[in-house]
Amino acid sequence: MDFTGKTAIVTGGSRGIGRAVCLELAKGGANVVLCYAGNEAAAQETVRAVEALGAKALAVHCDVSDSAQVNGLTGAATAAFGQIDILVNNAGITRDNLLMRMSEAEFDAVIAANLKGAFLCMKAVSRLMLKQRYGRIVNLSSVVGLRGNAGQVNYAASKAGVIGMTKSLAKELAARGVTVNAVAPGFIETDMTAVLSDAARAAAQGGIPMGRLGAPEDVAKAVAFLASDETAYITGQVLAVDGGMAM
């Protein structure tokens, strides 16, 4: 897939799935603007990895739940590269707890980062993409947003909400050549799943028809596919990358 001359914003691009997405887009020649919330060292490591592939990269500190910071992110991208062609909403957090024990702060934090953050980023790039009559928006949902999961009411709500926003915005932007799709990863080997106990990992793996956890690269390839010119007639869709979990 050729992304030569394209500029992509990847939120939460410092590590895990976000870093894999940055590298996959860079392989196709895209300029990559990645935002990070706290780990600057990891973000700069991703920048160096992108540049090693011959692409250009810029790391920007941004809390995606803050509209002013999101506007600063898009401003930095356009100042550096002149345009924004691709947005990948990957930034996300978890604050797992059973509903009866979940605090309002735990609920609000996840909704703010995962759902409001995606909303603000899509709003910030939509006007630019409409004006240039081209754009690719890819939102990271989750198998949990499709199936639910005990102890993750907040996370499931945020990721199900991402799917609803994806389908709604796809209808708003389709006539101007802007597609909006979602990828729903299953259990992927990232920092989020690294904290699982051996028993929880075994239980998760037992529910995957393929019998293994996925790799960040599995998700990144799906994201790149939906961000490419080859998918100009695909919009409002949810692509599960989960080894068959959601069947």
> Has residue 246 been placed in a domain?
no
Assess whether pLDDT exceeds 80 at residue 191: no
pLDDT (0 to 100) of residue 23:
98
Q: Which domain holds residue 172?
A: 7-241
d(CA 214, CA 122): 27
> Has residue 1 been placed in a domain?
no
d(CA 238, CA 146): 10
pLDDT (0 to 100) of residue 190:
83
Assess whether pLDDT exceeds 80 at residue 218: yes
Per-residue model confidence as pLDDT tens digits over 160-179: 999 999 999 999 999 999 99
Q: How many domains would you assign to the chain?
A: 1
pLDDT (0 to 100) of residue 84:
98
| Global pTM value | 0.95
Which residues belong to the active site?
155
> Has residue 78 been placed in a domain?
yes
Per-residue model confidence as pLDDT tens digits over 63-72: 999 999 999 9
CATH number at residue 212: 3.40.50.720
